[in-house]
Amino acid sequence: MGAAIPNRITVGIFGGSGYSGRELSRWLSRHPRARVEFSTGSAAPHIPHEDGLSRRVDVYFLCLPHVTSAAYVEKLRKAQPRSLIVDLSGDLRLRTEASYKRWYEHDHGAPALLAQAVFGLTEVFRADIPGAKLISNPGCYATSAMLPLLPLIKDGLVDSEDIIVDAKSGASGAGRSLREDLLFCEVEGNFSIYSQGRRHRHIGEIEETIERCTGVRPVLTFSPHLLPVERGILSAIYVRTPRSVDELRSALARYYEGAPFVRLVDSAPKLKDVNHTNLCLMSVHEGAPGRAIVVSALDNLVKGASGQAIQNMNVALGFDETEGLL
Ligand SMILES: NC(=O)c1ccc[n+]([C@@H]2O[C@H](COP(=O)([O-])OP(=O)(O)OC[C@H]3O[C@@H](n4cnc5c(N)ncnc54)[C@H](OP(=O)(O)O)[C@@H]3O)[C@@H](O)[C@H]2O)c1
């Protein structure tokens, strides 16, 4: 017999003053079973970050920068081994030290954790999540690319070595750190590409995760862009395929049948269709002969961060996957 499903749970948020932490607080305040016991950060100066380590709760969400996050995970795993930890940073998304070093350009501070975390792309790893004690929440861009690409690569429907992910994100994707390129006058009325080439860390996360699930390592050309809006990610994914648009659509519809937050739609989704929701909407369109365009849209702060984190908590603890998220 499995463990009893708790009726009420207590929650702590590290980094509750950041963009994803604030969003998480808002969603959790509407969750019927969760009570936020503490939230750390400059928005709650009476609880310094370290003080959260001595607070005992059922679930810890870490909305901290990478490196800092892994250090907190290590301490929490020792201090509160029975609690669930959901890490929103990139620290535990890659499987090996070598891979982490390649994409983050420094050594991992707590490499033993890499093999211990369940990867929380909920729709794909749902079977591994119930009962997990450590969940690594996927990246926002990575979620928007992996959800549409994974089923198509798994079924061998697209050329895995000829994939272009042309992705655009609102400025909240970069967090609230003070950077000149994120100042209002730089972002407003502007539009720019960044991290050109094989530099963006989410490339590693997408390629490695898809390989783990399908046995095929895709090779991506990934171009992130900064949109002059607050939130949302729209990815146009260009694939080479001998299959028709209908066949690609059917494969996606089959894979996500019954998934409450991933939906196939006829017209290309827009940011306003997904913002402030935990949805990922996707559509498929004809490209040049032998090519197709797959479009996906999600809110980077919800399905790309806090919403998916709550979805993972729900599945880990045996709650309905949609609790507090509709
Ligand atoms: N933004 C997104 O769309 C998004 C999506 C998916 C995943 N993520 C990941 O989620 C994490 C948080 O991202 P964010 O965008 O919410 O960041 P953010 O807006 O910059 O907020 C960062 C938070 O971490 C705290 N913090 C910073 N340095 C710290 C330190 N040395 N020790 C303890 N706390 C520290 C800050 O607290 P203070 O108030 O004290 O400064 C703040 O609460 C990152 O790892 C990011 O990669 C973000």
- The catalytic position among 63, 140, 213, 280 is 140
Atom number, ligand 1, closest to the C-alpha of residue 89: 45
**Same-fold call for 9-138+304-317 versus 141-300:** no
Ligand 1 within 6 A of 18 CB?
A: yes
Instruction: Take atom 9 of ligand 1 and give the residue whose Cα is closest.
Output: 89
- pLDDT tens digits for 287-314? 999 999 999 999 999 999 999 999 999 9
Ligand 1 within 6 A of 176 CB?
A: yes
What own/partner pairs with CB < 8 Å and gap ≥ 24 does 197-205 have? Answer: 198/222, 200/141, 200/224, 201/90, 201/103, 201/104, 201/139, 202/139, 202/141, 202/142, 202/145, 203/103, 204/94, 204/99, 204/102, 204/103, 205/90, 205/93, 205/94, 205/103, 205/138, 205/139, 205/142
Q: What pLDDT, on the 0 to 100 scale, is given for residue 51? A: 82
Task: Give the domain 141-300 fold.
Answer: Dihydrodipicolinate Reductase; domain 2 (3.30.360)
The reply to whether the predicted model has a pTM over 0.95 is yes
The best mutation among 22, 46, 63 to test binding of ligand 1, ranked by most ligand atoms within 8 Å of the C-beta, falls on: 63
CA distances from 246 to 117, 208, 216 (A): 36, 28, 23
pLDDT band at residue 2 using 50, 70 and 90 as cut-offs: low
Atom number, ligand 1, closest to the C-alpha of residue 300: 3
pLDDT band at residue 45 using 50, 70 and 90 as cut-offs: low
Q: Does residue 224 have a pLDDT over 90?
A: yes
Q: Does residue 52 have a pLDDT over 90?
A: no
Ligand 1 center to 319 CA (angstroms): 27
Adjacent-strand bridge partners of 178: none
Q: What number is the average pLDDT over the span 228-239?
A: 98
Q: Where are the domains of the chain?
A: 9-138+304-317, 141-300
**DSSP-based helix, strand, coil % in the chain, nearest 5:** 35, 20, 45
Q: What pLDDT, on the 0 to 100 scale, is given for residue 218? A: 97
Ligand 1 within 6 A of 21 CB?
A: yes
Ligand 1 within 6 A of 309 CB?
A: no
At a CB cut-off of 8 Å and minimum separation 6, what does 140 contact? 169, 173, 233, 298, 300, 301, 304, 305
Distance CA 284, CA 263 (A): 12
Atom number, ligand 1, closest to the C-alpha of residue 22: 16
- pLDDT tens digits for 67-94? 999 999 999 999 999 999 999 999 999 9
Q: Which CATH superfamily is domain 9-138+304-317 in?
A: NAD(P)-binding Rossmann-like Domain (3.40.50.720)
**What is the edge-to-edge ordering of all strands in the sheet holding 9-14?**
34-39, 9-14, 59-62, 84-87, 134-136, 118-119
Ligand 1 center to 118 CA (angstroms): 21
Ligand 1 within 6 A of 25 CB?
A: no
Q: What number is the average pLDDT over the span 260-265?
A: 98
pLDDT band at residue 114 using 50, 70 and 90 as cut-offs: very high
- Identify whether 185 is a catalytic site residue: no
Ligand 1 within 6 A of 305 CB?
A: yes
Atom number, ligand 1, closest to the C-alpha of residue 177: 20
